[in-house]
Chain A
Amino acid sequence: EEIEIKAVTAFPKPVEFAKSFARFVEKANEMGEGVFQINYMGGPEVIPPPQQAQAIRRGVIDMQYGPGTYYLGEMPEVDAWVGSTVSAMEGREKGGFAIMQEVYKEGLGAYLLAHIDTGVDFHIYLTEEPERTADGGVDLTGLKLRSQPIYREFFDTLGATTVSVPVPEVYTALERGVVDGIGWPLVGITDLSWDEFLKYRIDPPFFQTDLAIMMNAEKWAELPEEAREILTKAAIEYEKESYDHYQTVIKETDEAVRADGMQVIDITGDARQAYLDEAFATAWKRLKDSGSAHYDDLRDAYYDR
């Protein structure tokens, strides 16, 4: 008899990243036919995203997919992924994934199965053209950016003012100029029609998605050897497949938004390096300040700038 694995995601089913998880489920279920079946129950309507990590710990659900930033407070090592410059495959090769598996076990009591959908970076998007500094960088002094925890220190260093705006109000806030910009991944910027107002994108991108699939530790341990092998194989394959998929999506999205008239402010030369240094420094500083014992090892594995 097939074992049922109950899965929940941090995104509603229609959202792009949830679709990626659905593709993983399809793949794993095909490989695991006769051994196990993942039952993708739904997203935030089943369990609210901030509570999903605890649901995994308690064993209320067996599998969860979503951004690690929801449990950043309990597991500061998520910032190693936020501040990572290498793909999941490279991180795995350099031993980073193994460390993160340990961290998930200690911090959340969970089994980390996969680090998928990597290769998607973040950009600052603006409704108006930003001031440039003498060295070719951007000066965002006086601009109001929508704040989110992972960007808050970086936006501070750029001189921007941060405003808290819930997602459903971002559209009106951009329309009316309550905020002049947001930080968002390249993928998904058109999902909420925000690109109607966001006419400028600052390049280079910074940070990286921190999307993981984790499982309840006991459930994992109880699975037959065969099931664990199949799931691990599916996870490793899907890390690469999803990376490749998003490289295509990024290229297509980039072309589409440019064709729609989005201006790209490309910071070059030394200013580009300085911009990226500042961005990545905020993530790694948070991790260092948390006193994590894994700081050095994670930095070696995930950061190669």
Chain B
Amino acid sequence: MRALIRCYDALIIGFAVAGAATLAVSTALIVADVLLRNFGLQPLRFASALVEYAMLAATMGGAPWLVRRKGHVAVGSLIEQLPGPAYRTILVSGMILSLGVCAFLGWRAMLLAADAIDRGAVDIRSIDVPGWVAYALLSLGLILCATEFLRLLILGRTALGNQHGSGA
């Protein structure tokens, strides 16, 4: 069980690291592409398609990790006025709702990915990208968000956090 938890934690952190890496790689790709173009060489055709997909990859790679560190912006000021038990109930309900929504949409995205593979769908950009990629990224990100909400609920870490902020 403990090994499983460690694996899972590594997965969430790994996804975030991968998300951050896609941002760094995007920077490098754009620089290389522009330099090649301006030195009269053939630019990297795949660069713009990859960078565009990197935006989705970074979003979905970072989203579950953000759930963990309470980095998704929320309005806390109104319910904070409520008495303790009511405040907690509302927060827990909100998290269960978020969990359900992420799991549901993640499941549908997975079916769409499978359907796209079936149809052999292709997203034609600066290069051809297989049609299932975007759905798969969406599905993975949302399902892991759901499991992260579940983790917070199990651990009882329901309070709205304030870990975001560049000074944090």
Contacts and interface: CB of A to CB of B under 8 A. Distances in A.
Interface of A: 50, 69, 72-74, 142, 144, 147, 149, 152, 161-164
Contacts of A164: 47-48, 126
A149 B42 CA distance: 17
28 contacts: A50-B123, A69-B124, A72-B124, A73-B121, A73-B122, A73-B123, A73-B124, A73-B128, A73-B131, A74-B119, A74-B120, A74-B121, A74-B122, A74-B131, A144-B37, A147-B126, A149-B124, A149-B125, A149-B126, A152-B45, A161-B37, A161-B40, A161-B43, A162-B126, A163-B37, A163-B43, A164-B47, A164-B48
Interface residues of B, number: 17
A147 B128 CA distance: 14
Interface in B1-51: 37, 40, 42-43, 45, 47-48
Contact of A142 (B40, B45, B48, B124): B40
A144 B119 CA distance: 35
A82 B128 CA distance: 18
Nearest to B125: A149
A164 B122 CA distance: 19
A152 B42 CA distance: 13
Contacts of A142: 40
A83 to B, nearest CB: 16
Nearest to B36: A161
Contacts of A163: 37, 43
Interface in B71-99: none
Given A74-B119, A161-B40, A161-B42, 9 more contacts: A73-B122, A73-B124, A73-B131, A74-B120, A74-B121, A149-B124, A149-B126, A163-B37, A164-B126
A278 to B, nearest CB: 19
Contacts of A72: 124
A144 B41 CA distance: 11
Contacts of B120: 74
A164 B42 CA distance: 13
Contacts of A144: 37
Contacts of A147: 126
Contacts of A162: 43, 45, 126
Contacts of A161: 37, 40, 42-43
